[in-house]
Structure 1
Amino acid sequence: MLDDFFIRALVAGVGLALTAGPLGCFVVWRRMAYFGDTMAHSALLGVALSLLMDFNLLLSVFIVAATVSILLLLLQKRGTLSTDALLGILSHATLAIGLVMVSFMTWVRIDLVGFLFGDILAVSRADVDLVWGGGILVTFAIVWMWRPLIASTVNPELAEAEGMQPEKTRLVFMLLMALVIAIAMKIVGILLITSLLIIPAATARRFSTSPEIMAVLASVIGALAVVGGLFGSLKFDTPSGPSIVVAALGLFILSLLTKPRTSGVAASEGGRACPCNN
């Protein structure tokens, strides 16, 4: 029989994977992997501010990640630097500031390794409720905004011409990313969050002929990676968070050995091109 803590880890991990799957698809389609890293790195600054001000950890991480997202949008509109340069500055600056702040707080004992790589085996029932509650909220928002998200991903100019407000859609997407990162931090850690978003989506991309199929497959593959990683961690006594990422990587490598099902560019809703193969 499996212990209660392992069951909680499985339930929380699967819940996170189901949420991260569709969101990760948009990260892949929009080529925003570096943006995901930037938001994940900003989480440590949120942790430092939470400890400094004795503030709720989840809310603090979300506020910092959301602030970084809005700051990126504002800086992009100025056009003084490329998006890659801005992301590099924000990513390393927030991570470094967070580390420096933590080093000054000598009165606080903090497990940096736990924050950086997560500790899914330490999740409580409250954490499980938070993962599933937040996951349902994020999934509902993605379903509600599915058409505008797809349209602004494939052709932002056309989406704007049709009154879908791609800039607003992008901001909402960034806020959803901030929420998922805040929820996922304790499970897979700051440095591994982006991996759980990108690798299952990249694996699902090889077998998808529509955005909807890819979103569902990404969730399933992510869930399989969580289960495989946790049981591998139990068997080989390896860190749980990295083991989940290694399991996801293993599934991706296996997908490279098979023939993809995609054929050309499939059609999406409203006759638009599917972003699956772009």
Structure 2
Amino acid sequence: MDLLGDFMTRATLAGMGVALAAAPLGSFVVWRRMAYFGDATAHAAMLGVALSLAFGMSIFAGALVVAFTMALTVNALTGRGYAMDTLLGVMAHSALAFGLVAVSFLSGVRIDLMAYLFGDILAVSRLDLAVIWGGAAVVAGLIAWRWSALLTATLNADLAYASGIDPRREQLVLTVALAVTVAVAIKVVGVLLIAAMLIIPAAAARPLARSPEAMAVIAGAIGAGSAIVGLRAAFVLDTPAGPTIVCCAALAFAGTSLWRRAPLG
């Protein structure tokens, strides 16, 4: 019996793969208050999609290259006379706008723009699944390899230097992981909702966690659970799958936030 022959099975596995890649990375995004950084990198991926379609390249490769370039550019320009939120706002929306304009010039290519903006998880193929889980493995491996150093650099840059850790190198590790996550998540939730899958499960996990490691694990469970429940809800309610997954994650965040504020006993 071919389990991957069922589109819902492929979609569920794809959603879980993205959730497991985004969970540990999303924890660092929350700890470092890099939410807008993730948003900017995700928006830039739309330009990568346009370039990939124009030159007949893989969508994953184009999105990865542009997302990585955007993240490196933001890193390089940080602290050079612009406030971080201003710089990220300009670059994020500019890249998205240029990507959408570039897509409009591709008259010879049939494009479902909504699929790239909000995802098309139900159309995930076996190849897409391999790319998603391969990317998730790369991200998980990077974060696991540098976990201690990343935590130290996140906690305090001076402490990191004293421990022989270069905070800029750790920032580069996060940049690579973020670019890979953005590239693999486009098919699942689209460029407009990637940041939501990074931030919301990690934020929902925060009230439940007693340690950084626990927060990453709980975030992964919430993200994967949101993907499973969201897909089922989208099937039953006939709603867009990607946004429905994000809605489930948002409900989980609301639930954990209320639980934290509830009086004990």
TM-score range, shorter chain: over 0.9
Q: CA deviation at 1:256?
A: 2.0
Q: CA deviation at 1:204?
A: 0.4
For the 8 Å contact 1:118–1:188, the answer to whether it is kept is yes
1:257 partner SS? helix
Aligned to 1:147: 148
For the 8 Å contact 1:45–1:99, the answer to whether it is kept is yes
Q: CA deviation at 1:203?
A: 0.6
C-alpha distance in structure 2 between counterparts of 1:194 and 1:72, whole Å:
16
C-alpha distance in structure 2 between counterparts of 1:239 and 1:70, whole Å:
33
1:4-45 Cα shifts (integer Å, max 9, x gaps): 000111111112111111110000000011011101100100
C-alpha distance in structure 1 between counterparts of 2:73 and 2:17, whole Å:
30
Closer, same or farther in 2 for the Cα pair 1:2/1:98, shift >3 Å? closer
What amino acid does structure 1 have at the position aligned with 2:31? W
Q: Please tell me whether residue 35 in structure 1 is matched to residue 37 in structure 2.
A: yes
- Matching residue within 14, 17, 33 for 1:15: 17
1:250 partner SS? helix
C-alpha distance in structure 1 between counterparts of 2:17 and 2:124, whole Å:
13
Q: CA deviation at 1:260?
A: 6.8
Paired residue total: 260
C-alpha distance in structure 1 between counterparts of 2:261 and 2:176, whole Å:
32
1:78-130 Cα shifts (integer Å, max 9, x gaps): x2111111101110110111111111222222111000000111101111111
* Correspondence 1:240-255 to 2 at 5 A: 240-255=241-256
What amino acid does structure 2 have at the position aligned with 1:239? P
For the 8 Å contact 1:206–1:260, the answer to whether it is kept is no
Q: CA deviation at 1:138?
A: 1.0
CA RMSD across the alignment: 1.6
2:110 partner SS? coil
Q: Which moved more, 1:53-62 or 1:215-224?
A: 53-62
1:169-192 Cα shifts (integer Å, max 9, x gaps): 101111110001000001111111
- Matching residue within 45, 50, 53 for 2:52: 50
Q: What runs of 5+ residues in structure 1 fail to find an aligned partner? A: 262-278
Q: What runs of 5+ residues in structure 2 fail to find an aligned partner? A: none
For the 8 Å contact 2:17–2:136, the answer to whether it is kept is yes
C-alpha distance in structure 1 between counterparts of 2:37 and 2:261, whole Å:
27
What amino acid does structure 2 have at the position aligned with 1:197? L
Aligned to 2:180: 179
1:200-242 Cα shifts (integer Å, max 9, x gaps): 1001000111100000000001111011100100111110000
Aligned to 1:270: none
C-alpha distance in structure 2 between counterparts of 1:160 and 1:214, whole Å:
25
Closer, same or farther in 2 for the Cα pair 1:126/1:260, shift >3 Å? farther
C-alpha distance in structure 2 between counterparts of 1:259 and 1:29, whole Å:
18
What amino acid does structure 2 have at the position aligned with 1:231? R
C-alpha distance in structure 2 between counterparts of 1:15 and 1:71, whole Å:
28
Aligned to 2:118: 117
C-alpha distance in structure 2 between counterparts of 1:49 and 1:132, whole Å:
24
Identity among equivalent pairs (%): 48
Aligned to 1:256: 257
Q: CA deviation at 1:2?
A: 11
Q: CA deviation at 1:161?
A: 2.3
Q: CA deviation at 1:3?
A: 7.5
1:46-103 Cα shifts (integer Å, max 9, x gaps): 01111122222111111101111111111114x2111111101110110111111111
For the 8 Å contact 1:37–1:91, the answer to whether it is kept is yes
C-alpha distance in structure 2 between counterparts of 1:169 and 1:256, whole Å:
30
Q: Normalization by structure 2: what TM-score?
A: 0.95
Aligned to 1:76: 78
C-alpha distance in structure 2 between counterparts of 1:186 and 1:244, whole Å:
13
What amino acid does structure 1 have at the position aligned with 2:37? F
Aligned to 2:100: 99
